[in-house]
Homo-oligomer: A and B are copies of this chain.
Amino acid sequence: MLAEIIAIGSEMLTPHRQDTNSLYLTAGLNALGVSVAFKTIVGDNRQHLTSAIGIALSRADIVVLSGGLGPTEDDLTRECVAEALGLGLHRDADVMHALQQRFAARRMAMPPNNIRQTEVLDGAIVLQNRNGSAPGQWLDTVYGGPSGKVHRKLVILLPGPPKELKPLFDEEAAPRLRQVLPAYFMASRMLRMALIPESQVDARCAPIYQPYTDVETTILAGSGEIQLHFRCTRPTQEEAEQRVDELAELIEREMGDDIFSSHGESLEEIVLLMLGMRGMKLSVAESCTGGLLASRLTAIPNASRVFDGGVVPYANDQKVMLCHVPEDLLEEHGAVSAPVARAMAEGIRAISGSSIGVSITGLAGPAGGEGPDADKPIGLVFIGLSDGEDTQVKQVQIPGDRDRVRLWATQHALELLRRTLE
């Protein structure tokens, strides 16, 4: 079964906005055994949209449309689907009632425009939208191509806002698809690694995953991380799970502790989990990353259980004031140096009273360093880690622009922490 996703809205044909719903819809369709063969993005234009729907009906079994279900003249999806399929539209009394209640609950009169939202394709099932005024629609119908042959088509109309589309797809569209489609059992797993080249992962893993011809393996690289995705379809869920687990275990044996997560957790989640299990508390001192590491850690709910906090001694004199780096170290070695990274890690640990102090100091660019740091290359970063007994310092040279150096520096810090805790 092939699907096409049509995202409707002129704003997605500007340089400012793009369709993101299709990623979510694709994951949901894949889990039901449906592949997405085409995505089309079209504006709020009657002729363009009607013809795009006709094309989708001629090449896909399932057509999922997102957007264009609002109350304005620009919201054309209902009419264009009707025209492409040669179906009528009727005003649905239940939808009208629900809409009126929705406005009444907000003590507002329903504007006349909203009557457009009560229009339902003949033969369609209304998909109740708890999060907005636009209901979705489900249509199990037939479509005759130019050849005269008639094929069954499933057409699903969903509202554009992600907060409305996602629950409507999961709760209303997906269960109906599952009933209609052949039974399908898919299992998937993801293994995550940090700071290791994609080519190295592939060279070591390809001999292992290639014989698993029934497991689809995808390697994704980005943001200092490699993800290995496995997906398998079998006659039962148990068999599918067993195949991906078996392959994942072989890969885990090969890659060992390069793998930081085998069930999808992010690197910062893993580090927080490990600290929590050991009853340890963390504080950080960040110079060139300027709060990015703390921000990544505190983006995780309940980070406060293990993350004490930290300092961002961005200017050189702040390294003295905020984490008690001896001035002579700065003068002698420069801020971007192993001794200063060491002093920062030890300093923040002592000030915070945490179990572990982690520090980052480096040159993110584009401007170079000053004084004793003047001749050091951009991308040079030192990571310090002090646990009270011992302080280690790691030196790395990160290629790329400011954003990349900053992000990778936090990856290096998290990865050093993870390996130390392991």
Contacts and interface: CB of A to CB of B under 8 A. Distances in A.
Contacts of A30: 14-15
Contact of A18 (B20, B48, B281): B20
Nearest to A37: B48
A147 interface: no
B290 A312 contact: no
B312 A310 contact: yes
Contact of A302 (B20, B317, B367): B367
Nearest to A406: B299
Nearest to A348: B322
B36 A26 contact: no
Contact of A311 (B12, B301, B312): B312
A27 interface: yes
A295 B304 contact: no
B310 A291 contact: yes
Contacts of A281: 315
Nearest to A42: B38
A255 interface: no
Interface string A312-341: 111101100110000000000000000000
A402 B318 contact: no
A133 to B, nearest CB: 16
Interface stretch (A51-59, A78-86, A382-390): A51-59
A302 B301 CA distance: 32
A365 B365 CA distance: 35
A409 to B, nearest CB: 12
Given A308-B314, A314-B308, A351 B321 contact: yes
Interface in A1-34: 11-20, 22-24, 26-27, 30
Contact of A314 (B27, B298, B312): B298
Interface string A265-294: 000000000000000010110101111111
Interface string A198-225: 0000000000000000000010100000
Given A55-B55, A292-B298, A322-B322, 11 more contacts: A15-B30, A16-B23, A18-B19, A289-B298, A294-B295, A298-B314, A298-B406, A299-B402, A301-B366, A308-B318, A310-B312
Interface of A: 11-20, 22-24, 26-27, 30, 35-43, 45, 48, 51-52, 55, 59, 218, 220, 227, 229, 281, 283-284, 286, 288-295, 297-299, 301-304, 307-315, 317-318, 321-322, 351-353, 365-367, 402-403, 406
